[in-house]
Amino acid sequence: MTTSAPPRHAREPELAVATTALRKTYRTRKGRRVAVEGLDLRVPRGGVHGFLGPNGSGKTTTIRMLLGLITPDSGSMTLFGEPVPARLPAVVDRVGAIVEQPKFFPAFTARRNLELLAGAIGAPSARVGQVLEEVGLGERGRDRFRSYSLGMKQRLAIAGTLLKDPELLIFDEPTNGLDPAGIHEIRQTMRGLADAGRTVLVSSHILNEVQQVADTVTIIGRGRLLAEGDVESILARGGAEAVRVRVPDPAAAAEVLVAAGLAPQPGPPGTVLVRARPGAGPLDGSVVTRVLAERGIYLAELVWQRPDLEEVFLDLTAAEHLGAGAPHAAPPPPLPPAAAPRRSGGDR
């Protein structure tokens, strides 16, 4: 840890989590492997913050450093404006985390498992019923753990993190191994926790999965920051919207569209994807229909396609490889001040 200069975020208590120039390398047989490289992470208080990046991009390493489980090589970190790990004992009760799967006794009921956990961590046993309700397991608390679905097991793990009533929850890949129904349950649970005023920091390598529930996100690649901000503005940076048109002869349609100054690409069979040329302003769907109709090509279907976070990530990493959009050369737009914009509703 650097100690010379005070960390830039140390007095930003509106941020639940902040890291500055965080770096971590691991010693391997082939030398040092950089896991996290100069990472600035800023998680506003309130809402769901997606911490996104492909496998091996440094998410778990960052989370483990925040929780004091491993030590950074350099850089600084704060939780609620308090420098960690130095002040971790002062803030640890405000943080609940799932980094590895907690162990529960299969033959005991969910309620009994949580009572044992509460006793072990010094949480009041009266919280057990409340946290079961909070994760939607109030009706199933008397069932044995082994009878639970994977989604319910994961919700029970989340219930365990709530026993001390923390303000910040950190979940590392909580939907790994879950089926769509389980993923839906966890998303709804995270949304509910955020809507109740908590901050949820959730990591995932499936960007689009978190896109549906996150208010703000940080996207990393190879340990470096690629983008941060609210989901809408990151999607807006992700390149032009496109329309997908279904036509009898996609090749003929593509020629017409090129001649009209548009940028067609092959789409799924029988379709063409059309984007505006870079710098040509937003795409106008009526122009697409008109230029094709003028040449006797009539659309069977026109569908707007918005970029998603996966596409934004691919664009960002492609730009990085070309050296055009190196992550620190063009800093991302700042996060909105204080709490992230809230979205109402459950699963999205």
Ligand X SMILES: Nc1ncnc2c1ncn2[C@@H]1O[C@H](COP(=O)(O)OP(=O)(O)OP(=O)(O)O)[C@@H](O)[C@H]1O
Interface residue list for ligand X (CB under 6 A): 26, 28, 33, 35, 53, 55-61, 205
- Compute the least distance from the CB of residue 13 to ligand X, in Å: 27
User: Is 176 or 265 the residue whose CB approaches ligand X more closely?
Assistant: 176
Q: Which two tokens stand for residue 45?
A: 């208080």
User: Is 70 or 116 the residue whose CB approaches ligand X more closely?
Assistant: 70
Q: Which residues, 6 or more positions from 42, have their beta carbon under 8 angstroms from its beta carbon? A: 9, 12, 15, 17, 18, 218, 228, 335
Task: Report the candidate in 270, 210, 285 with the shortest Cα–Cα distance to residue 240.
Answer: 285
What is the identity of the amino acid at 75? Answer: G
Beta strand ranges found along 222-345 (DSSP E): 224-230, 242-246, 263-266, 271-275, 301-305
- Compute the least distance from the CB of residue 25 to ligand X, in Å: 9
Q: What is the DSSP secondary-structure string of 43-107?
A: EESSEEEEEE--TTSSHHHHHHHHTTSS--SEEEEEETTEEETTTHHHHGGGEEEESSPPP--TT
Q: Which two tokens stand for residue 118?
A: 């509460």
End-to-end CA distance of the chain: 39
- Compute the least distance from the CB of residue 24 to ligand X, in Å: 8
- Compute the least distance from the CB of residue 241 to ligand X, in Å: 29
CB atoms under 10 Å from CB of 22, counted, come to 26
User: Is 57 or 211 the residue whose CB approaches ligand X more closely?
Assistant: 57
How far apart CA 146 and CA 254 sit, in angstroms, is: 57
Strand partners of residue 109: 144
Alpha helices (runs of H) in 162-237, residue ranges in sequence order: 180-195, 207-211, 231-236
User: Is 35 or 95 the residue whose CB approaches ligand X more closely?
Assistant: 35
- Compute the least distance from the CB of residue 260 to ligand X, in Å: 43
- Compute the least distance from the CB of residue 252 to ligand X, in Å: 44
- Compute the least distance from the CB of residue 82 to ligand X, in Å: 23
User: Is 33 or 146 the residue whose CB approaches ligand X more closely?
Assistant: 33
User: Is 199 or 203 the residue whose CB approaches ligand X more closely?
Assistant: 203
Beta strand ranges found along 138-180 (DSSP E): 168-172
- Compute the least distance from the CB of residue 222 to ligand X, in Å: 8
User: Is 38 or 56 the residue whose CB approaches ligand X more closely?
Assistant: 56
User: Is 33 or 142 the residue whose CB approaches ligand X more closely?
Assistant: 33
